[in-house]
Amino acid sequence: MMMTTALTGSAIGLGMGFVMQRGRFCMAGGIRDTYLQKDFTMVIAILIAISVQSIGLFLLAEWQWVKLPSGHFPWLATIIGGALFGVGMAAAGSCSTGAYYRAAEGLAASVLAVLGFIVGSKLIRTDDVKALVSPIKQLQLQDKTVYQTLGVSQWLVVLCLTVLTVVLAAVYLKRQRRPVALMSPRKQGLAHLLFEKRWHPFVSAVLIGLLALLAWPASLQAGRVGGVGISGSSAQLWDLVTTGNLKFFGWSGFFLIGLFAGAFIAARGSAEQRWRNPGAKALLLGAVGGLLMGLGSGIAGGCMLGNALVGTATLSWQGWLFIPAILLGSWSFNYFMLIRPMRLAGI
C-alpha cells in the first residue's frame, strides 16, 4: 500500500509540477492581472482546468470510482482565511503552488515563501491556534454544494460552467489571432516540445485539469477522499523534516515532493533554473506572504489547489467563495502597496 501511495502521489505531483512550470501556470498572477492589467487569460485557463476536472469527477462518481467529500460549509472561515491567503499571495507574488515551482527554479524569495507556507501550515494546526480559530470554523451552513442549495442536478451546474468556459475561451482565442514573433528553436522533436516551445495557457489548463482528476481515484486507493492540495501536506512535511515522523505523511505528501521535483526537472530542461536574489524587501515579503498563505489556507480549509481548483470542481460553496475572498485580499494589498502610491505620485 505504501509503495502504491508513493508511486501514484509522486507521479501525479511530478506531472503537475512539470506542467505548471512549463506553462507558467500561476493562479495568483492571473487573478492579479484581472484588476491591474484587465487581462483575463489566466482566469479563463483556471475555468478550463476546473471544468475539465468537474466533468470527469462527476462521471467517475456516478461510476463509483471516486467518493465525493461531504460535510458542512464553514462560510466565515472561508472568507477570513481566503482574504488572509490573498494578502499573503499578493505579498509573495505567487500562490502557494506557484511558490513551490518558482522555488524549484531558484528564486530566493519563493524559497522563503515556501518555508513561510510550511511554518504557517503547521502553526495553524497546533492545538493552541486551532482552539483560537475554532469559533470561526464552527459557523457553518448545511448546504455544502451549489447544486444542493439550488435544488438541481449537478449536471445542470456542470453544463452551465462548461458552456460559460467554452464561450469565454472561444471569444478570447478569436481576439488573439495575431502572429507572435518567436526565436529560432535550438532543440528538435520531443525535447523542443517539452522544454523549449511556448505552452499555451489553455493547453496547460487542460493537462492540469486531467492530472487533478486522476488524483481522485489514485488517492482513494490510498484510503484518502479528495483531490490535489498542498496545505496539509506542507504541515506533514514539517513533521517529517523536524522529527522524522512518517505516520501522517501519505499520498498528498508524496504529491508535494513530486510537484517540486517535476518543476525542477522542467526548469533545468528549459534552462530556467538558476539562483536569483531579488533583494531584501522581496525576500521579506516572500517569507511573510508564505506565512500568511499557510495560516489562511489552514483557516479556509484549503489552499489555491485545494479550494480554487478542487473545491470549485466539486461545485462546493467553499471553493467558489474562496476565489472572491482571495481576490479581495490580493486587491487590498496591491491597492495600498502599488495602486494608491502610484496615483498619489501622479503616475
**In this predicted structure, what is the pLDDT of residue 170?**
94
Neighbours of 108 (CB within 10 A): 17
The vertex-274 CA angle with 271 and 275, nearest 5°, equals 170
Contact by Cβ (8 Å): 200, 22: no
Residue-wise pLDDT for 34-74, tens only, equals: 776 777 888 899 999 999 999 999 999 999 999 888 778 89
**pLDDT exceeds cutoff 70 at 336:** yes
300-325 pLDDT per residue, tens:
998 888 898 999 999 999 999 999 99
Q: Convert the pLDDT of each residue in 80-138 to its tens digit.
A: 999 999 999 999 988 888 899 999 999 999 999 999 999 999 999 999 998 999 999 88
Share of the chain above pLDDT 90, in %: 53
Q: Quick one: pLDDT at residue 157?
A: 96
pLDDT above 70: residue 282: yes
Task: Find the Cα–Cα–Cα–Cα dihedral 22, 41, 169, 56, rounded to 10°.
Answer: 50
Cβ neighbors of 25 (< 8 A, separation 6 or more) are 19, 42, 45, 201, 204, 205, 208
- % of the chain exceeding 70 in pLDDT: 95
Cα(212)–Cα(50) distance, rounded to whole angstroms? 9
Q: How many Cβ atoms sit within 10 Å of the Cβ of residue 4?
A: 12
Q: Which residue has the cell 529560432?
A: 184
The whole-angstrom separation of Cα 278 and Cα 133 is: 35
What's the confidence (pLDDT) of residue 188? 74
Residue 182 is predicted with a pLDDT of 57
pLDDT at position 318 is 93
- The pLDDT score that the predictor gives to residue 38 is 77
- pLDDT single digits (tens) 13-42: 999 999 999 988 877 777 777 776 777 888
178-204 tens-digit pLDDT: 655 556 677 777 777 888 788 889 999
